[in-house]
Amino acid sequence: MNIDFPKLIKLLLPTFMRAGLTELVEAIASPLTSLYTDFQLWQIDIRLQAAMTAQVMYMETILNYRLLNSFIRTIYITDGDGVTVDFIVNVPSGVEVDNYRLIALVEKYKASGKRYSIGQSALTYEVLWTDAVCELISADKIINMLTADRDMGIHIFVVSEFVVTTEISVDIQVTYNGGLTSIETVTIPLGSNTSNIIDKNNVSSVMTIASNPAFDDTYIYDTFT
C-alpha cells in the first residue's frame, strides 16, 4: 500500500484549517515522509531479491542490477561445456565490475553443485570456494612479518596486504641467539595495515604464528613468515 502523505495530511486536517496549516504540517511530517520513501526503496529491493531464482534470466537480472545498477542485459550467461563448467558468466570488454562481489552474487543465487567460470574480455576466472561466502568483498588478507636491523637490534613489525577491517592481534615467535624463544603479540589497529613496532636485541629469527581473529565477515586473514 502506498501512502500519499500530502493527501493524507489534507484529509486529516479540518477543512477550515487547511488553508493555513497544510504547508506547516507537511514540513513537520517531512522526516516521516523521508523514512517512508527509504522504506519503499528497501521494500522494492527485498522483493526483487526474494523473486530471484537460479534460472539464467533471473541471475542475469540480479547481476546487472546489483553490479551495474541497470536492468539492461550487459552481463550475460552462456552454457558451459558441461565437463569442466556448467555455465559461463560473461562480462563484456570495457565493463568494470567488482569481481569479488560478482563471484559472491553468483554463489548466492546459482543452483547447488553447478560449476561455472567468469569470462571478462580475454580473461577467464576459474572459481573455487572452500568456505561459505557472502555478498561482501571476500578475499584473503596476507599478513607478513618484516624485520630490519637498527643499532645492533632488530626492528620488528607486522604488515597486512590491505587495511584491516577488524582489529587484528598477531602472535609472533622470536628466537634469540642461544636458542631461547618467546611469544610476542602485536596489534594491527582497525583502519591500518601496520602493527606497532617491537625492538629486540640478539634476535636470530622471527616468525608469525597466528592471527586473531582468523577471519571475519569480510576477509580471511592468513599469516606468513
124, pLDDT greater than 70: no
Distances in Å between the Cα of 58 and the Cα atoms of 65, 85, 208 are: 10, 19, 46
68, pLDDT greater than 50: yes
More confident residue, 149 or 81: 81
More confident residue, 91 or 204: 91
CATH T-level assignment (fold) for domain 139-224: Immunoglobulin-like (2.60.40)
Cα dihedral sign for 169, 171, 172, 174? Answer: positive
Give the pLDDT confidence of 127-184 residue by residue, as tens digits.
655 555 444 444 456 667 666 665 667 777 788 877 887 888 888 888 888 888 888 8
Q: Domain limits of the chain?
A: 5-49, 52-126, 139-224
Distances in Å between the Cα of 39 and the Cα atoms of 28, 31, 49, 67, 130 are: 19, 12, 15, 21, 36
Q: Please provide the average confidence, as pLDDT, over all residues in the chain.
A: 79
Which residues is 153 bridged to in the sheet? Answer: 150, 201
Give the pLDDT confidence of 168-204 residue by residue, as tens digits.
888 888 888 888 888 888 888 888 888 877 888 888 8
Report whether the peptide linkage leading into residue 213 is cis, meaning its omega lies within 30 degrees of zero: yes
